[in-house]
Structure 1
Amino acid sequence: MDIGLNTLYDIGSNYSVKLNDKERLVYEDDPLRKQKTPQEKKLEKEEEKKEVKKSSNELSQDEKRLVLDLQSRDAEVHAHESAHQSGGASTGAATYTYQQGPDGKMYAIGGEVSVSFQSGSTPQETIANAQAVIASALAPADPSGQDMAVASSAMVMMMKAQQQLSRETQEAVLGKETYKNEADKSNNTQTGVTELDIPA
């Protein structure tokens, strides 16, 4: 087995073994694996922040333009998802997709809000729920294709509930008319019986 000079072997978390000039094994502290104290970590973070500030001041024109575009998109995405949440349907928390800009900051470039649609125990309840979902889906100034699909599905559910409500109303009206017709027939039959001459 060939072992070259200064070859490192890992023998623990903070130590390494290497061969010295005389090809003897030596144990040394591994500077790459050394645990940092809280003070060292704090200083390192402060240095990173300074570097980010420096680099943001040193952005090229294209990078500055990209940062402005990302800031604009971030504001647009947050406004879009907030509009969904204020639409009236029961919604979950917004989740965002982020992109890191050249300035080191994270910007929202996409987002979504889950909308809960439940059919009600009555057609009226289902219609009210569907209207709330439609309002939430179409609340943003510029609804996306997904927003339009959700609104469309809710409209279908609403139309089915309206048809069911119409059927129930029609059956109730027809039921009353049927009852009235049956009652009228019954009254006529009773009146007819009393008017009949029965031979003795």
Structure 2
Amino acid sequence: MNISGFSPVSSNYASTANRSTGNAASAGASGRRAEEGQNGQLSREEAAEVAELKKIDSKVRQHEMAHMAAGGGLVTSGASYTYQKGPDGVNYAVGGEVGIDTSSGRTPEETIARAQRIRAAALAPADPSGQDRAVAAKATQMEQEARGELAQQAMRGATGADGDEPRQGKLAGYLAADKPAAGSSVNIYA
């Protein structure tokens, strides 16, 4: 994943769906049709599979909506879903992703703020996926690098051109040299 480009924040429940549908998937279409009643109702196994797919679909959609809500202006594309067709002929979402802009800001301060928002968007769902955690880790790394750059800028700003004496010390020395000693000046225009 390239932290300076666009990266998806994704979740994938397909493995759960495939585990839950393993037995039904191995049964042939003719076997399923033989189990159906005269009125075209689903078998018990198929009904259980549909119930599981509905549960996964709901979970996937909530997960992706959490990313979109927390991502705000960083979302580059709405949620896109991976579907699995259930025994009832309906497509159910079993995975999804939301595009998040993970590019850095123009300044270290902007980069820190963006990294915090990226991390919040990646970890927004109640059950972040491995991909979500990877995006959050990249955002944390981006924030740390920006903080390091900010610290270096502060150090460069605190030292003089020669890097030996702090600017504050040089300025104080200059101001002290221009001040006359107390009582050494006389006002002759009285």
Same fold (TM over 0.5): yes
Q: Secondary structure at the match of 1:119?
A: coil
Structure number with the bigger relative contact order (C-alpha 8 A, sep ≥ 6) is 2
Residue 145 of structure 2, aligned match among 141, 153, 160: 160
The CA distance in 1 between the partners of 2:150 and 2:38, in whole Å, is 64
The CA distance in 2 between the partners of 1:141 and 1:184, in whole Å, is 55
Deviation of 1:117 after TM superposition, in Å, equals 1.4
On the 8 A contact 1:71/1:107 being kept in 2, the answer is yes
The CA distance in 2 between the partners of 1:180 and 1:124, in whole Å, is 24
* 1:140 maps onto 2:128 in alignment: no
The CA distance in 2 between the partners of 1:170 and 1:127, in whole Å, is 18
The code of the aligned residue for 2:43 comes to: S
Residue deviations 1:151-194 (CA, integer Å, cap 9, x gap):
10111000000111112123223349633433455555998xxx
The CA distance in 2 between the partners of 1:121 and 1:103, in whole Å, is 51
TM-score norm. by structure 1 comes to 0.62
Residue 48 of structure 2, aligned match among 38, 46, 65: 65
Match of 2:103 in 1: 118
The code of the aligned residue for 1:168 comes to: Q
Mapping for residues 47-66 of structure 1, pairs under 5 Å? 58-66=41-49
**Gapped regions of structure 2 (runs ≥ 5):** 1-36, 181-190
The CA distance in 2 between the partners of 1:79 and 1:183, in whole Å, is 59
Change (3 A) 1:180 1:72: closer
Q: Secondary structure at the match of 1:121?
A: coil
- Greater Rg over alpha carbons, structure: 1
* 1:88 maps onto 2:76 in alignment: no
Q: Secondary structure at the match of 1:114?
A: strand
Q: Secondary structure at the match of 1:98?
A: strand
Match of 1:174 in 2: 159
Q: Secondary structure at the match of 2:134?
A: helix
Match of 1:39 in 2: none
Deviation of 1:56 after TM superposition, in Å, equals 8.4
Deviation of 1:88 after TM superposition, in Å, equals 2.8
The CA distance in 2 between the partners of 1:84 and 1:105, in whole Å, is 25
Match of 1:11 in 2: none
**Gapped regions of structure 1 (runs ≥ 5):** 1-53, 192-200
Deviation of 1:131 after TM superposition, in Å, equals 0.6
Change (3 A) 1:55 1:152: farther
Q: Secondary structure at the match of 1:93?
A: strand
Deviation of 1:140 after TM superposition, in Å, equals 0.5
The CA distance in 2 between the partners of 1:130 and 1:154, in whole Å, is 5
Mapping for residues 29-44 of structure 1, pairs under 5 Å? none
> How big is the alpha-carbon RMSD for the aligned residues of Structure 1 and Structure 2?
2.6
TM-score norm. by structure 2 comes to 0.65
Residue deviations 1:65-91 (CA, integer Å, cap 9, x gap):
000000000000100000111113511
The code of the aligned residue for 1:61 comes to: R
The CA distance in 2 between the partners of 1:117 and 1:173, in whole Å, is 32
